Structure 1
Amino acid sequence: MSKQSRRQFLGTAAAVTGVAISGAQWTLAAEPAKRERKNNGKIFKANKGGRIGKDFDEMVTRLEQYKTLGFDGIEGASPGIPDLDTLNKAIKQVGLPVHGVVDMVHWKERLSSPDPAVREVGRTALVQAVKDSKKIGGTSVLLVPGRVSGPEETHDDVWNRSIVEIRKVIPVAKRHQIKILIENVWNGFCETPDEFRDYLDAIDSEWVGAYFDIGNVRKFGKPEEWIRTLGNRIVKLDVKDWGKENGFCRLGEGDVDWPEVRKALAEIEFTGWATREGGDKSLEDTAQLMDQLLDL
């Protein structure tokens, strides 16, 4: 089956098997199966791959699975991938890229910690993640810049300390042509789109942007409003759904208004990677839902 035919089939299947969304003003089942896939070739479908595999055969098997399902790539983790050289061989054999890595140290050894030694560990890990991403042909590192945790790690502390540490790494990011992308998460930091925009602007570097998480922000507001405020600061997307009644959930079953998200993404002319974080009924289900909800 050709890639185009497979996408058409998955889109039709998603519409047929879609379910009504509680409390929303639209239903997944009502989404037109024949709607033009306007983002095919503009938004690239990926899934969190983490370790990806412990050896060459496992890596190849996993990459082939994603490719067969119509994914354009996956995202890895640093640290986490056991052998970057082996992964490069698997990527070359299968022809499916790993578009970047998640910094797996950022939550514990935070760039916002009141302890300078902890901040140094976090910064060193970020530098290594940049190098790891470059080595496997990626373009970014996903970073959580800190967490508001109390009087010694306030919102202002996270803002100021993390900016200092990120700026130290920008020359490395520039040298390796890897972008440091800040994710909006439930860390008590920048919980309005204006704050997040102003934080990125304060860093003031073409090598730092937003890794915008659609589902994470639904707890605080509407993703489409954040998208319009952040505009071209958004470089990549994390794809999640979230609802007041069911928390993080299967795509299309939360409170995210996907038609409005599509509209906002079109308005800012977004093009880039969209990576599913979390699970649906299966990888096949995820592929179908992403195609349907993002016009892929």
Structure 2
Amino acid sequence: MTPNRRDFIKVASATAALSTLGTASMTQAAERPRSNKGRIFKANKGGSIGANKEQMVAKLQQYKDLGFDGLEGGIPGIPDLGALREAISEVDFPVHGVVDGVHWKDRLSSPDPAARQIGVEALVEAIKGCHAIGGSAVLLVPGKVTGDDETHDDVWSRSIIEIRKVLPVASRYGIRVLIENVWNGFCETPEQLRDYIDEIDSTWVGSYFDIGNVRKFGKPEDWIRVLGQRIVKLDVKDWGVKNGFCRLGEGDVDWPAVRTALAEIGFTGWATREGGDNSLEDTAQLMDELLDL
């Protein structure tokens, strides 16, 4: 059947929408069912969140007004956990977890036992602090491959020993320790990360899957399928060969494929933006679009 002019215009318009991120993509996303609304919760990295309760309330309210569901903090870094807990209650806006703030310097994989001990103590502090503000998990980088005295095998074995030391504390406070995939020379295939988490063999340890970090090594959707329900939370970033870390949607991440993979594993939980876009409003809109929120 020969297409008429009206059919041609429809096809041309659809093609243009698919090839453009910007406004056309926003419109297209708005027409899709928001299948992850109420299943995936939108957050941003908040750091210290504020120096006092007044600042904390203002920051939490700002993000709430923009349509975010929560923030993530960092320990050490939050100056007054009690004030933050009051601010969270006052605004009715959660801080869903914290980032371990010393895991790069005082690594659990360090060849120096004293550094590893500092790392363990800091992780315990982060677990307790996370519990104090009503969070659910601590993001942890387990180590870094640095050379002959800190090899991949060393990072694997040393970090597992140290993480196991904190598991009774994690269990007591009900806080999970989630391993983030980063550019640290460790577990650069999904199978390695899967096996690493499985060797720890604890309900209290899972994956904090960073969508953008992994794009350098492979396709996030493939990693998602291999890691499966080990994934507890998501870090939301984009990355491309040409432009590195970038505005969401402008890198090499295939967001429709990521959404499909997340649906296949039944993911539900927090997705936290790390990095910047044109503005916080831009970030909120892009996350809604790319994750169907």
| Length-normalised TM-score, structure 1 | 0.91
CA drift at 1:29: 5.5
1:46 counterpart SS class = strand
Summarize deviations over 1:51-82 as a string: whole Å, max 9, x none. 00011111111000000011000000000001
Kindly indicate whether the alpha-carbon contact (under 8 Å) linking 1:147 and 1:188 is maintained by their aligned counterparts in 2: yes
Which letter maps to 1:201? D
Measured in 2, the distance between the counterparts of 1:30 and 1:65 equals 25
- The number of equivalent residue pairs is 276
Residue 42 of structure 1: aligned partner: 39
Q: Which residue number corresponds to residue 105 of structure 1?
A: 102
1:134-283 → structure 2 map (5 Å cutoff): 134-283=131-280
CA distance in 2, matches of 1:216, 1:238: 9
Rounded Cα–Cα distance in structure 2 between residues aligned with 1:18 and 1:66: 30
* Unmatched 5+ stretches in structure 2: 1-16
2 CA distance for matches of 1:32 and 1:85?
A: 40
For the residue of structure 1 that corresponds to 2:162, the secondary structure is helix
Q: Return the alpha-carbon distance in structure 2 between the equivalents of residues 32 and 206 of structure 1.
A: 36
> Is the CA contact (8 Å cut-off) linking 1:110 and 1:118 kept in structure 2?
yes
Partners of 1:31 and 1:150 in 2: how far apart?
48
Report whether the alignment pairs 1:119 with 2:146. no
Contact preservation (8 Å) 1:211, 1:237: yes
Displacement of 1:31: 3.8
Query: Would you say 1:51 and 2:25 are equivalent positions?
Result: no
Q: Is the 8 A contact 2:212 2:236 kept in 1?
A: yes
* Residues 203-247 of structure 1: CA deviation (Å, up to 9, x unaligned): 000000000000000000000000000000000000000000000
1:131-172 Cα shifts (integer Å, max 9, x gaps):
000000000000000000000000000000000000000000
**Larger relative contact order, structure 1 or 2 (CA cutoff 8 Å, min sep 6):** 1
1:155, 1:188 within 8 Å by CA — same for their partners in 2? Answer: yes
Shift of 1:33: 2.3
Q: Give the superposed CA RMSD.
A: 1.6
User: What secondary structure does 1:150 align onto?
Assistant: coil
- Measured in 1, the distance between the counterparts of 2:157 and 2:75 equals 25
Structure 1: gaps spanning 5 or more residues: 1-16, 22-26
Percent identity, please. Answer: 71
Query: Counterparts of 1:173 and 1:180 in 2: how far apart (Å)?
Result: 7
Deviation at 1:18, TM superposition (A): 10
* Alpha-carbon distance in 2 for matches of 1:199, 1:112: 14
After superposition, the Cα gap between the structure-2 partners of 1:71 and 1:99, relative to the gap in structure 1 and judged at 3 Å, is same
Query: 1:117, 1:72 → 2: CA distance?
Result: 39
Distance 2:29 2:82 in 1: 44
Identify if the C-alpha distance between structure 1 residues 99 and 42 changes in structure 2 by more than 3 Å, giving closer, same or farther: same
Partner of 1:33, secondary structure, is: helix
Report the alpha carbon displacement of residue 19 of structure 1 after superposing the two structures with TM.
8.3
1:187, 1:178 → 2: CA distance? 24
- TM value normalised by structure 2: 0.92
